[in-house]
């Protein structure tokens, strides 16, 4: 079933500000992944955080994972107009024998105002 | 170049006319999956495959079939398409527990 649930559904901020998106999920996972999608294109992988990790960085991206609360957050610092896109979290229970494959939430639509 | 290739990219068809959307990857990935994306509903998993000859239902499998006879190919078959299957379809692949690589999408309209 669809595991991840992103919050907020939509977010509009000024260029240069930080953007924070949250993801909550329901069952045990092996890892959690964040993806970005530009306007009807294929999704592009941003970052993967394993269940035994608490924080991970990649460039202007910072991801946290709290398995006790079953939640994750994606922070984009110093946002740019080009960051305008939809962002999805995906919960991965595959290698642990999970029956659901890799499932996505409904996404957060981020708009960066120039 | 590592890629996931879907065909066709755009298709308009009529109710009941069988169609197949092909998906091929050149990265030797074990895992392949089909998703449909509809406004307000995010990506919903249709079927996935952990390896050759192994397929499992996702969240919305009704009206779809898949097969995984070879590692690189994972076609999506609509035996009798209906208008509620009008959607944007994505194929994706990965190593087990790895990041997904997505195709560019196939926009299907069923009249």
Residue B68 contacts residue B22 (beta carbons within 8 Å): no
**Other Cβ atoms closer than 10 A to A104:** 26
Q: Which residues contact B28 (CB under 8 A, 6 or more apart)?
A: B71, B72
Whether B89 has its CB under 8 Å from any CB of chain A: the answer is no
- Tell me the per-residue pLDDT of A30-71, one tens digit each, with 9 for 90 and over: 899 999 999 878 899 999 999 999 999 999 999 999 999 999
Over 70: is that where the pLDDT of A97 sits?
A: no
Tokens found for residue B37: 């994306």
Whether A105 has its CB under 8 Å from any CB of chain B: the answer is yes
Interchain pair B35, A99: CB under 8 A: no
Whether B103 has its CB under 8 Å from any CB of chain A: the answer is yes
Which chain A positions have a beta carbon within 8 Å of B96's beta carbon? 94-95
Position with higher pLDDT, B96 vs A78: A78
**Chain B, window 40-69: residues with a beta carbon less than 8 angstroms from a chain A beta carbon:** 40-45, 48, 50, 56, 58-59
Over 80: is that where the pLDDT of A96 sits?
A: no
Tokens found for residue A111: 């708009």
Question: Which pLDDT belongs to residue A1?
Answer: 54
Over 90: is that where the pLDDT of B42 sits?
A: no
Q: How far apart are CA B24 and CA B6, in angstroms?
A: 7
Q: How high does pLDDT run on average in chain A?
A: 90
Over 50: is that where the pLDDT of A109 sits?
A: yes
Tokens found for residue B13: 């068809």
Q: How far apart are CA A72 and CA B57, in angstroms?
A: 26
For residue B8, whether the previous peptide bond is cis, meaning omega lies within 30 degrees of 0, is: yes
Whether A43 has its CB under 8 Å from any CB of chain B: the answer is yes
Q: How far apart are CA B70 and CA B77, in angstroms?
A: 16
Question: Which pLDDT belongs to residue A2?
Answer: 54
């Amino acid at each position: 079933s669809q595991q991840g649930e992103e919050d907020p559904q939509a977010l509009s901020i000024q260029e240069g500000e930080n953007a924070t998106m949250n993801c909550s999920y329901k069952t045990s996972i092996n890892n959690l992944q964040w993806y970005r999608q530009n306007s009807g294109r294929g999704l592009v992988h941003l970052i993967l955080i394993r269940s035994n990790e608490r924080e991970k960085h990649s460039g202007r991206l910072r991801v946290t994972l709290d398995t006790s609360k079953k939640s994750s957050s994606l922070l984009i610092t110093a946002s740019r107009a080009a960051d305008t896109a939809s962002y999805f979290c995906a919960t991965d229970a595959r290698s642990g024998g999970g029956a659901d494959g890799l499932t996505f939430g409904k996404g957060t639509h981020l708009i960066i105002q120039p | 170049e590592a890629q996931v290739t879907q065909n066709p990219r755009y298709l308009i068809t009529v109710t009941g006319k069988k169609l197949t959307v092909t998906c091929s990857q050149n990265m030797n990935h074990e895992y392949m999956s089909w998703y449909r994306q509809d406004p307000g509903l995010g990506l919903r998993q249709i079927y996935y495959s952990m390896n050759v000859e192994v397929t499992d239902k996702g969240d919305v499998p009704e009206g779809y079939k898949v097969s995984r006879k070879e590692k690189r190919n994972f076609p999506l078959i609509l035996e009798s398409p209906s208008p509620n299957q009008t959607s944007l379809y994505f194929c994706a692949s990965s190593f087990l527990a790895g990041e997904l690589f997505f195709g560019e999408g196939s926009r299907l309209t069923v009249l």
